[in-house]
Structure 1
Amino acid sequence: MEAVMDMGLSGKRALVTGASAGLGRSIAAMLAAEGSSVVVHGRDPARTHAVAGEISAGGGNAVAVLGDLASSAGAAAVAEAAGEVDILVNNAGYYDDRGWSELDDEQWSQIYQVNVVSGVRMIEHLVPGMRRRGWGRVITIGGGLALQPAATLPHYTATLAARHNLTVSLARELAGTGVTANVVAPGAILTEPTRDMTLRAAAEHGWGPGWDAIEKAASAKWFPNDIGRFGRPEQIAAAVTFLASSHADYISGADLRVDGGTVRTIS
């Protein structure tokens, strides 16, 4: 008989921020497949409702909630609409392809509000309820660039480092409460924007022919890893689902890297 690992998520309620596309969409779908009721958050009404509709059509339980987490009022409205949440996945964020000479102090402040303070707002709204109920999960999507930053994207990589750091602090704050806080740190993941960017680079550098050769070349030149390809959104979703599960009760303050070995450290 085939063994099945029950994640213990039936009856739990999860809020996935930034779930209208990409990693958030995959995370929301997998949590729903494991029995959670899912609040799909986004800013674009059509895309956000489409994701919630897809989950519901597949037999899952999902609702859409709209709001801009970069403002105090927007975050409060999202938290109120979400209600009591057992699992908070802080996924929402953005990056742009700017270097040091292209950034001003306003752009540094803006990305910090979106990528860091927005998550802190959701923690402040939702974690007190988890404490009272004696069970909860806070899972933040980080990235390997938090540990090994490059010369480019300094504002973005700094926010990743902040997300990793605040998660460890939160885990210590929550010691003994039944609520855990962890980071999932993706490497380069094959989302639609990543594919589009890779195809543009392939045309410029002569990678190919065919997607398999392009992906192999991109993996070797952009983000050398031990697997030799991009990761897939479902692999990030699986890591989040495990950390949300009853099997991860003894894991808190951890950084789960899902990057094919891009970050080579045992610390």
Structure 2
Amino acid sequence: MDLHLRDKRVLITGSSSGLGAAIAKALAKEGAITIIHGRREEQASKVAQEINQDGGKAFVVTGDLTTNEGANQVVEKVLSTLDGVEILVNNAGSYEDRSWTTSQPEGWAEVYNANVISMVRLIQLLVPQMKHLGWGRIIQIASGLATQPNASLPDYQATKAAVLNMTVSLAKELFQTGITVNTVSPGLIATEGAKNIFHQIALHKGWGKDWAEIEKHAMQEYWPNPTGRLGRPEEIANMIAYLASPLADYINGANIRVDGGGVGAIN
């Protein structure tokens, strides 16, 4: 299927590794011009090089989105390089392994800044030029934990719930501008980072060293779902590619779950 994304300009935040890198590669395969963002230029350049060697078009921009100055520098570099962006994928974020008893209010503020305010900064900086273009896509990455929270990671989960709310509000704000705003909520995804973590957990829990066996235990303990496995980065990336395309014009203000059925909800 041709998604009509050729030469669309895309900024994917936090795309120097993991899920963000998979999103960038999927969009590049559809002909989009991708901007790889991260804090480490070496990592971001590696992803861009892989895309360019595969026949795609990728550029690199680095910067810290948790400050106004850093976000401004990122957007200035993007606009000076490509003179505009049609698609923004707000993927960058962070979390710490904290509980209700170990987290401090300052930590809640830090993760909220990293996972929500960083998105707000880019939205406010890039939406004016999207309005001028008369067409745009804003896609936010949340989590199944936004609507089905656990006791652990309460600060992180709260930020992802905020993203869902923000998406609906922004979609209404951009009424009839040609810009749509949607959220994708992944379940537990087997990125390389997640695999490394689960291999370490497996050592302590006696799950063995075979990834298939480790994945089975990880799914059962951390993300039980009817599909019976963890998600793949490419499965999230393919959904985002569709939402970013002109074919998805009538999808707006939505939360799209890609979680193997792990969230026990009708929507």
RMSD: 1.0
Q: Deviations over 1:156-208 (max 9, x none)?
A: 00111111110111111112111000001110001122112211222222224
Q: Percent identity?
A: 51
Q: Mapping of 1:221-240 within 5 angstroms?
A: 221-240=221-240
Partner of 2:177: 177
Aligned residues: 263
C-alpha distance in 1 between matches for 2:209 and 2:38 = 36
Q: TM-score, structure 2 length as denominator?
A: 0.96
Give matches, 1:61-100, under 5 Å.
Answer: 61-83=57-79, 84-100=84-100
Deviation, 1:88, is 0.1
Pairing 1:118–2:114 present: no
What amino acid is aligned across from residue 182 of structure 1 in structure 2? N
Counterpart check, 1:16 vs 2:22: no
CA offset at residue 209 of structure 1? 6.1
Deviations 1:6-56 (A, max 9, x none): 101112100000000000001011111101111111101110111111111
Distance 1:214 1:9 in 2: 37
Normalised by the size of structure 1, how large is the TM-score? 0.96
Cα deviation for residue 247 of structure 1 reads: 1.0
What are the residue-to-residue correspondences of 1:103-182 with 2, within 5 Å?
Answer: 103-182=103-182
Question: Aligned residue for 1:53?
Answer: 49
Aligned residue for 1:215, secondary structure, equals helix
Q: Partner of 2:195: helix, strand, or coil?
A: helix
Amino acid paired to 1:105: P
Q: Deviations over 1:94-146 (max 9, x none)?
A: 11111111111211111111110000000001111111211000000000100
Amino acid at match of 2:57: N
Runs of 5+ consecutive residues of structure 2 not aligned to the other structure: none
Distance 1:65 1:85 in 2: 13
Instruction: Give distance in 2, aligned partners of 1:66 and 1:200.
Output: 30
Measure, in 2, the Cα distance between the counterparts of 1:138 and 1:107. Answer: 27
| Counterpart AA for 1:173 | E
- Where does the alignment leave 5 or more consecutive residues of structure 1 unmatched? none
Distance, in Å, in 2 between the alignment partners of 1:9 and 1:180 is: 15
